């Protein structure tokens, strides 16, 4: 099954998150049955990054959004394990600093856009500025619409500069979120992530779903598409995201650049040097 079309939010379509079952897991029944396919795409992503880095004609931007405990960190850990960190980086967007807040809301984001040959992953992103601020009434509908327009223009500018953009909403259920919070409470390696706001924000769950539906529906475009990924099963989330990224990179039809030197001449010099070293070693032994 090709998940790109399955989970794509088609431009101009009204989105309803209720239409996507967060527990969906495709044809696989378990992580065990999917592990070979997951590993296949992990290895393929490694090959594709090597091509992207060597070719240096384009870049890739991956945007991850989710409710708290939705799996952004887990997705990053899985996908980044396939990539050489010299050509891939992660930026997390938290509450704006005073300097960032003194500029327009996209200023801090543009600073972290990928250069040609690079992959950038945004852990949260410019979409925070049409989500949490809307849910808490910090901006109204008109301001939201204006920001949607700015986001579309910003992403179109990046795409026009040869940046491929993929945006993923990791869709978990409300009950699943509560279970993950409980797991964090019992795990010393993760309970540092817990904050009172995690539970307080659950009161606004329906408002967040509405905000996501509007933001995703308004900004899923041909050159900057959104994908709603069922994320209750972590292994399926990793499989779907990896496959979509791999398929997208395949469609870039990348190739390694031609050598900038005369390989025939380099080989001739190498063999001559090797022969000379052999002669020197033979003299020293004699």
Using the predicted structure, report yes or no on whether residue 286 has a pLDDT greater than 70: no
Using the predicted structure, report yes or no on whether residue 193 has a pLDDT greater than 80: no
Residue 286 located in a structural domain: no
pLDDT digits (tens, 9 = 90+) for 86-95: 999 999 998 8
Nearest-angstrom CA–CA distance, 178 and 189: 18
Beta-carbon contacts of 138 under 8 Å, excluding residues fewer than 6 positions away, are none
Nearest-angstrom CA–CA distance, 249 and 49: 9
Picking from 222, 211, 190, 256, the residue whose alpha carbon sits closest to that of residue 8 is 222
What percent of the chain clears pLDDT 70, i.e. is strictly above it? Answer: 100
pTM over 0.85: yes
Residue 132 located in a structural domain: yes
According to DSSP, the β-strands at 59-66 and 226-230 are unpaired
| Class of residue 2 by CB neighbours under 10 A (exposed 0-12, middle 13-18, buried 19+) | exposed
Using the predicted structure, report yes or no on whether residue 188 has a pLDDT greater than 90: no
Residue 166 located in a structural domain: yes
Residue 277 located in a structural domain: no
Residue 267 located in a structural domain: no
Residue 278 located in a structural domain: no
Residue 192 — very low, low, confident or very high, per pLDDT cuts 50/70/90? Answer: confident
| Structure confidence at residue 275 (pLDDT) | 83
How many domains is the chain partitioned into structurally? 1
CATH number at residue 59: 3.40.50.300
When pLDDT is averaged across residues 56-78 and rounded to a whole number, the result is: 97
The b-or-e profile of 221-256 (16+ CB within 10 A means b, else e) is beebbbbbbbbbbbbbbbbbbbbbbbbbbeebebee
Contact assessment for residue 180 and residue 173, using Cβ atoms and an 8 Å cutoff: no
Give the structural domain span for 208: 3-261
What is the residue-averaged pLDDT of the chain? 93
Residue 249 located in a structural domain: yes
| Structure confidence at residue 271 (pLDDT) | 85
Residue 9 located in a structural domain: yes
């Amino acid at each position: 099954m090709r998940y790109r079309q399955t989970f794509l939010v088609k431009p101009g379509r009204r989105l309803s998150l209720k239409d996507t079952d967060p527990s969906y897991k495709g044809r696989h029944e378990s992580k065990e049955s999917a592990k070979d396919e997951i590993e296949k795409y992990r290895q393929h992503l490694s090959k594709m990054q090597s091509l992207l880095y060597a070719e240096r004609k384009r870049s890739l931007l991956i945007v991850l959004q989710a409710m708290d405990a939705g799996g952004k960190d887990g997705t990053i850990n899985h996908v980044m394990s396939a990539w050489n960190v010299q050509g891939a980086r992660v930026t997390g967007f938290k509450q704006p600093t005073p300097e960032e807040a003194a500029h327009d809301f996209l200023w801090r984001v543009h600073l972290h856009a990928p250069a040609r040959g690079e992959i950038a992953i945004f852990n949260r992103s410019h979409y925070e500025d049409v989500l949490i601020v809307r849910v808490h009434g910090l901006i109204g509908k008109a301001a939201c619409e204006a920001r949607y327009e700015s986001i579309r223009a910003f992403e179109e500018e990046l795409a026009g500069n040869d940046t491929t953009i993929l945006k993923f909403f990791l869709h978990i259920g409300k009950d699943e979120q509560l279970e993950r919070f409980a797991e964090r409470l019992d795990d010393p390696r993760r309970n540092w992530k817990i904050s009172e706001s995690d539970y307080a924000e659950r009161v606004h769950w329906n408002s967040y779903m509405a905000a996501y539906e509007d933001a995703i529906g308004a900004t899923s475009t041909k050159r900057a598409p959104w994908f709603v990924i069922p994320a209750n099963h972590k292994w399926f989330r990793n499989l779907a995201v990896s496959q979509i990224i791999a398929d997208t990179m395949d469609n870039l039809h990348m190739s390694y650049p031609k050598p900038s030197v005369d390989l025939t001449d380099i080989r001739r010099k190498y063999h001559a040097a090797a022969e000379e070293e052999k002669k020197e070693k033979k003299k020293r032994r004699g």
